[in-house]
Amino acid sequence: MAIAIYPGSFDPITNGHIDIVRRARKLFPKLYIAVVANPHKSPTFTVEERVEITKTALIEAGINGLEVISYDGLLIDCAREHGADAIVRGLRANSDFEYEFQMALTNRDLAPEFESVFFMTAKKYSFLSSSTVKEICMYGGDVSTFVPRSVEAALKKKLQTKK
Protein backbone atom coordinates (compact mmCIF):
# COMPACT_ATOMS: atom_id res chain seq x y z
CA MET A 1 0.00 0.00 0.00
CA ALA A 2 1.62 3.23 -1.14
CA ILE A 3 1.78 5.99 1.43
CA ALA A 4 2.08 9.61 0.34
CA ILE A 5 2.74 12.89 2.04
CA TYR A 6 1.46 16.22 0.71
CA PRO A 7 3.51 19.01 2.30
CA GLY A 8 2.81 22.72 2.15
CA SER A 9 2.23 25.94 4.00
CA PHE A 10 -1.58 25.65 3.72
CA ASP A 11 -1.87 29.27 4.89
CA PRO A 12 -4.80 28.61 4.55
CA ILE A 13 -5.91 25.57 2.56
CA THR A 14 -7.86 26.50 -0.61
CA ASN A 15 -10.11 24.63 -3.04
CA GLY A 16 -7.01 24.24 -5.24
CA HIS A 17 -5.23 22.27 -2.52
CA ILE A 18 -8.41 20.28 -1.80
CA ASP A 19 -8.71 19.31 -5.45
CA ILE A 20 -5.15 17.91 -5.31
CA VAL A 21 -5.95 16.04 -2.08
CA ARG A 22 -9.10 14.53 -3.59
CA ARG A 23 -7.23 13.28 -6.64
CA ALA A 24 -4.16 12.09 -4.71
CA ARG A 25 -6.45 10.09 -2.40
CA LYS A 26 -7.53 7.98 -5.37
CA LEU A 27 -3.95 6.84 -5.93
CA PHE A 28 -2.73 6.72 -2.36
CA PRO A 29 -4.91 4.93 0.19
CA LYS A 30 -2.88 6.53 2.97
CA LEU A 31 -2.25 10.26 2.59
CA TYR A 32 -0.70 12.65 5.09
CA ILE A 33 -1.25 16.37 4.75
CA ALA A 34 1.87 17.86 6.29
CA VAL A 35 1.69 21.48 7.36
CA VAL A 36 5.14 23.01 7.58
CA ALA A 37 5.67 24.84 10.86
CA ASN A 38 8.12 27.48 9.72
CA PRO A 39 7.82 28.14 6.03
CA HIS A 40 10.17 30.77 4.62
CA LYS A 41 7.11 32.92 3.90
CA SER A 42 5.99 34.31 7.28
CA PRO A 43 2.55 32.74 7.71
CA THR A 44 -0.69 34.54 8.54
CA PHE A 45 -1.95 31.64 10.65
CA THR A 46 0.09 29.80 13.28
CA VAL A 47 0.91 26.19 12.56
CA GLU A 48 -1.69 25.05 15.11
CA GLU A 49 -4.33 27.19 13.41
CA ARG A 50 -3.34 25.91 9.97
CA VAL A 51 -3.62 22.28 11.13
CA GLU A 52 -7.06 22.92 12.64
CA ILE A 53 -8.32 24.88 9.62
CA THR A 54 -7.05 22.15 7.28
CA LYS A 55 -8.69 19.35 9.29
CA THR A 56 -12.04 21.16 9.40
CA ALA A 57 -11.91 22.06 5.70
CA LEU A 58 -11.23 18.45 4.69
CA ILE A 59 -14.11 17.20 6.83
CA GLU A 60 -16.32 19.87 5.22
CA ALA A 61 -15.14 18.67 1.79
CA GLY A 62 -16.13 15.12 2.76
CA ILE A 63 -12.67 13.62 2.27
CA ASN A 64 -11.84 10.82 4.69
CA GLY A 65 -8.88 8.61 5.37
CA LEU A 66 -6.44 11.45 5.76
CA GLU A 67 -4.18 12.53 8.53
CA VAL A 68 -3.21 16.15 9.01
CA ILE A 69 0.16 16.54 10.71
CA SER A 70 2.69 19.32 11.14
CA TYR A 71 6.44 19.22 10.83
CA ASP A 72 9.45 21.38 11.41
CA GLY A 73 12.76 20.85 9.68
CA LEU A 74 13.39 18.71 6.64
CA LEU A 75 10.45 17.24 4.74
CA ILE A 76 12.37 14.05 4.04
CA ASP A 77 12.79 13.43 7.76
CA CYS A 78 9.04 13.78 8.24
CA ALA A 79 8.42 11.52 5.23
CA ARG A 80 10.75 8.88 6.68
CA GLU A 81 9.13 9.08 10.07
CA HIS A 82 5.73 8.35 8.52
CA GLY A 83 6.91 5.60 6.21
CA ALA A 84 5.97 7.53 3.06
CA ASP A 85 6.78 6.30 -0.44
CA ALA A 86 5.86 9.44 -2.33
CA ILE A 87 5.79 13.20 -1.97
CA VAL A 88 2.75 14.86 -3.56
CA ARG A 89 2.86 18.41 -4.89
CA GLY A 90 0.61 20.46 -7.14
CA LEU A 91 1.60 22.36 -10.27
CA ARG A 92 -0.10 25.52 -11.44
CA ALA A 93 1.17 27.92 -14.08
CA ASN A 94 4.79 28.01 -15.26
CA SER A 95 5.92 29.84 -12.17
CA ASP A 96 5.57 26.74 -9.97
CA PHE A 97 7.76 24.62 -12.21
CA GLU A 98 11.24 26.01 -11.43
CA TYR A 99 10.69 25.83 -7.70
CA GLU A 100 9.10 22.39 -7.72
CA PHE A 101 11.78 21.03 -10.07
CA GLN A 102 14.55 22.26 -7.79
CA MET A 103 12.84 20.89 -4.67
CA ALA A 104 12.18 17.50 -6.25
CA LEU A 105 15.77 17.10 -7.44
CA THR A 106 17.16 18.22 -4.10
CA ASN A 107 14.91 15.82 -2.24
CA ARG A 108 15.97 13.02 -4.56
CA ASP A 109 19.64 13.77 -3.84
CA LEU A 110 18.95 13.70 -0.12
CA ALA A 111 16.54 10.77 -0.12
CA PRO A 112 16.34 8.74 -3.35
CA GLU A 113 13.78 6.38 -1.83
CA PHE A 114 10.97 8.94 -2.21
CA GLU A 115 9.30 9.60 -5.53
CA SER A 116 7.92 13.12 -6.09
CA VAL A 117 4.53 12.99 -7.77
CA PHE A 118 2.96 16.08 -9.34
CA PHE A 119 -0.70 16.73 -9.91
CA MET A 120 -1.62 19.28 -12.53
CA THR A 121 -4.01 21.91 -11.23
CA ALA A 122 -7.65 21.98 -12.30
CA LYS A 123 -8.20 24.68 -14.91
CA LYS A 124 -10.51 26.63 -12.62
CA TYR A 125 -7.93 26.71 -9.84
CA SER A 126 -4.88 27.39 -11.96
CA PHE A 127 -4.42 30.92 -10.61
CA LEU A 128 -5.68 30.26 -7.12
CA SER A 129 -3.25 30.70 -4.25
CA SER A 130 -3.54 31.22 -0.49
CA SER A 131 -2.02 34.68 -0.83
CA THR A 132 -4.56 35.79 -3.45
CA VAL A 133 -7.40 34.59 -1.26
CA LYS A 134 -5.98 36.48 1.73
CA GLU A 135 -5.63 39.66 -0.25
CA ILE A 136 -9.22 39.47 -1.53
CA CYS A 137 -10.53 38.76 1.96
CA MET A 138 -8.53 41.55 3.55
CA TYR A 139 -10.27 44.08 1.31
CA GLY A 140 -13.70 42.63 1.97
CA GLY A 141 -14.04 40.66 -1.28
CA ASP A 142 -16.01 37.43 -1.63
CA VAL A 143 -13.80 34.34 -1.36
CA SER A 144 -16.61 31.77 -1.15
CA THR A 145 -15.77 30.17 -4.49
CA PHE A 146 -12.10 29.75 -3.54
CA VAL A 147 -12.24 28.20 -0.07
CA PRO A 148 -14.68 26.13 2.03
CA ARG A 149 -17.01 28.06 4.36
CA SER A 150 -15.03 27.16 7.48
CA VAL A 151 -11.87 28.60 5.91
CA GLU A 152 -13.72 31.73 4.85
CA ALA A 153 -14.85 32.21 8.46
CA ALA A 154 -11.30 31.74 9.78
CA LEU A 155 -9.96 34.22 7.22
CA LYS A 156 -12.54 36.86 8.09
CA LYS A 157 -11.84 36.46 11.78
CA LYS A 158 -8.09 36.79 11.30
CA LEU A 159 -7.88 39.41 8.58
CA GLN A 160 -10.92 41.58 8.95
CA THR A 161 -10.51 42.09 12.70
CA LYS A 162 -6.82 42.90 12.20
CA LYS A 163 -7.60 46.06 10.23
Nearer to ligand ADP, 82 or 163 (CB): 82
Pick from 21, 43, 44, 90 the residue near ligand ADP by CB under 6 A.
Answer: 90
Q: Which of 30, 82, 92, 156 binds ligand ADP (CB under 6 A)?
A: 92
How many CB atoms lie under 10 A from the CB of residue 161?
7
Q: Which lies closer to ligand ADP via its Cβ, residue 8 or residue 159?
A: 8
- How many angstroms separate the Cα of 159 from the Cα of each of 30, 120, 155, 156? 34, 30, 6, 5
DSSP state of 9: -
Please say if 17 is a catalytic residue: yes
Determine if 10 is a binding residue for ligand ADP (CB under 6 A): yes
Catalytic residue among 17, 50, 89, 134: 17
- Give the total of residues touching ligand ADP (CB under 6 A): 18
Of 144, 140, 135, 138, the closest CA to residue 158 belongs to 138
In angstroms, the CA 158 to CA 154 distance is 6
Tell me the C-alpha distance between 160 and 163, whole Å: 6
41 catalytic residue (yes or no): yes
92 given a catalytic annotation: yes
Catalytic residue among 92, 108, 156, 158: 92
Q: What is the layout of strands, in order, in the sheet containing 66-71? A: 66-71, 30-36, 3-8, 86-91, 115-120
Binding mask of the shown chain, residues 101 to 140, with x at each position contacting ligand ADP by CB under 6 A: --------------------x---x--xxx----------
**How large is the angle between the packed helices 47-60 and 15-27, nearest 10 degrees?**
70
Q: Which of 9, 50, 89, 130 is catalytic?
A: 130
Q: In the complex, which residues of this chain contact ligand ADP (CB under 6 A)?
A: 8-10, 14, 16-17, 20, 39, 89-92, 96, 121, 125, 128-130
Residues classed as catalytic: 17, 41, 92, 130
